[in-house]
Amino acid sequence: MKIAAVETLRLARGITVHAGPVQWLWVRIHAENGLYGTGETYPHPESEEAVVLSRLAPRLIGQDPGRIEGLWASMFDAVSYSGWAGAELRAIAAVDMALWDLLGKTLNVPVYQLLGGATRDRIRTYNTCYDHISFLDEPERLAESLLEQGIGAMKIWPFDPVANETGGQWITPALLRRGLEPLRRIRARFGDEMQVAMEFHGYWNLRCAIEIARACEEYSPMWLEEMLPQDNIAAYRELASNTKLPLTISERLMTTWQHRELMASQAARVVMPDIAWCGGITEARKIANQAATHMLPVAPHNCGGPFLHAATLHLAASVPNLYIAESVRRHYAGDYQGITAPFARPSNGFFPLPPGPGLGVDLLPQVLARPDMTRRKV
Ligand SMILES: [Mg+2]
C-alpha cells in the first residue's frame, strides 16, 4: 500500500489559552485504499501547513505509510539542513501522528497496542486550569469542583500576572506573596488532598526563579514547571541545585537530541515532551525511553487539540515510566465539542484506556462543512 495524498485542514476560529489565540492544524495522510490517518500540531497552522505541503509531502507520496521510522528520517532530512526546531518539526510531528493513526486503522488495533501494548489499565491525570472558575480569584472553588470529579491534582500559573508586571526580571516580597496566594489558599483549605503543579511558562530569570522556588517550598507543590526559558540547560541545573522542589522541563524541547542534554544535566525530575511539538509519537516514545534510562518519569504535555489529547492517552497507556498525564477539563468537556465525538471523562482522577482503531478519534462531518474551514491537498 502507498500514500496517495497529503491533506491539511484548519479552522480560522481557534481557542484562547494563556499566550493568546491558538489554532490547530490537522494533517490527513490518505492511503491508496481509501483509509486515512489524522495528526495534529499547533499553534501556527499557516506555517506548519506550508511545511507539510511543500517540504514533507514530496517525501511521503508514493511511499509505504507503515514505514514510519524511515519516513520520519526522510522528513527530517528534508528540513534539517536549514534548521528544524520550529514549524518544520511541528509539521513532522503532525504527519508522524497521522501515520500511527493510519497504521492502527490498517491493522484494526489502537495505537497503544502498536507501541507495545498497555502497561496500565487506567491513566492518572491532572487538570490544567484553563477553567471557567478562575484560579486567581476562586482557587478553593476551583479545587473543590475538581475534587468533586475525583481529580486530585491541578496546574495553575499565578506568577504569570506578576511576570507581566516586572518582565520576569525582578520580584519583591509582596509580589512573591501575591503569586503564592492561590497555592497557599488551596493548601490551607484542602491540605494534602489536592496536589498543585506550579507553571511559570518560562517567564523568569534565574535569580527570580530561585527566589520563587524557595518561597514555594513550604507549600509542597507537585512540581515547578518551566521557570526559565528552555534554551539554557546549565541555568536550569543551577536552579535545581538551589531548591528542594522537583523541576519539570519542558514542553518546548524538541527531539531526543535536545532531551539528551536535559537529561545529562540532571536538572529535571519530570520530563514533559509534547507529542505535537517534539517530533510526534515516534520521537516522544524515544524521549520517554531515554528518560527511563535516567530513572526519570514523563508527564506528557497535553494542552492542544483533540488529536493530541488522544495521542497523549495512547502514549501514556504504553510507556512504563508515566508520572501523570496532563488534561484540560475545559477542552475535553467543552472546546472539543462539535469537532470530534465526545471523549471519555476521567473517573476518580483516571482516564480509561483510549479506544481504537488507530487514535480512535476523527473530525465530525459538520467540522468539514464549517465556513471557516480551509482544506488543501497534494
Ligand atoms: Mg507548561
- Average pLDDT over the chain reads 97
Q: What are phi and psi of 180, to 5 degrees?
A: -80, -15
The whole-number average pLDDT for the span 109-120 is 98
Q: How confident is the model at residue 16 (pLDDT cuts 50, 70, 90)?
A: confident
The H helix count followed by the E strand count for the chain is 16, 14
Model confidence pLDDT, tens digit, residues 332-376: 999 999 999 999 999 999 999 999 999 999 999 999 999 999 999
More confident site: 20 or 112: 112
Cell reading at 150: 475525583
**Quick check: do 3-109+363-377 and 113-352 share a fold?**
no
- Expressed in angstroms and rounded, the spacing between residue 250 Cα and the centre of ligand 1 is 7
Could you say which of 3.40.50.980, 3.40.50.2300, 3.20.20.120, 3.90.170.10 is the CATH number of the domain covering 113-352? Answer: 3.20.20.120
| DSSP conformation class of 189 | H
pLDDT digits (tens, 9 = 90+) for 67-113: 999 999 999 999 999 888 899 999 999 999 999 999 999 999 999 99
Work out the pLDDT band at 169, boundaries 50, 70, 90.
very high
pLDDT at residue 18 greater than cutoff 80:
no
* Distance from residue 57's CA to the centre of ligand 1 (Å): 31
Give the Å distance between the CA of 58 and the centre of ligand 1.
34
Q: Is the pLDDT of residue 9 over 80?
A: yes
Whole-structure pTM value: 0.97
Kindly tell me if the per-residue pLDDT of 133 is higher than 80.
yes
- CA–centroid distance, 308 to ligand 1, in Å, is 15
Contacting residues for 23 by C-beta, under 8 A, at least 6 apart? 10, 11, 12, 13, 14, 42, 43, 44, 45
Grid look-up 481504537 returns 356
- Predicted confidence (pLDDT) at residue 253 exceeds the cutoff of 90: yes
What's the whole-number mean pLDDT along residues 127-143?
96
Q: Which of 167, 187, 178, 174 is nearest to 136 (CA)?
A: 178
Q: Does residue 17 register a pLDDT over 90?
A: no
* pLDDT of 19 over the 90 cut: no
Per-residue pLDDT tens over the stretch 207-228: 999 999 999 999 999 999 999 9
CA of 251 from ligand 1 middle (Å) equals 6
Domain 3-109+363-377 grouped into CATH 3.40.50.1000 = no
Distance (angstroms) between ligand 1 centre and the Cα of 272 equals: 8
* 249 CA from centroid of ligand 1 (Å): 8
- Confidence check: pLDDT of 29 > 90: yes
CA distance 314 to 123: 10
| C-alpha cell belonging to residue 319 | 510507556
Q: How far is the CA of 199 from the centre of ligand 1 (A)?
A: 6
* Cell of residue 61, nine digits: 507520496
* Reported confidence tier of residue 65, pLDDT bands at 50, 70, 90: very high
What is the 325 CA–ligand 1 centroid distance (Å)?
12
Q: How far is CA 83 from CA 46, 78, 79, 95, 145, in A?
A: 18, 10, 7, 18, 45
**Confidence band (pLDDT; 50, 70, 90) for 20?**
confident
Are 33 and 59 spatial neighbours (Cβ–Cβ below 8 Å)? no
Per domain, the residue ranges of the chain are 3-109+363-377, 113-352
Average pLDDT for residues 15-44, to the nearest whole number? 92
Alpha carbons within 13 angstroms on the beta-carbon side of residue 176 total 14
Distances (CA, A) of 216 to 182, 184, 223, 346: 11, 9, 10, 29
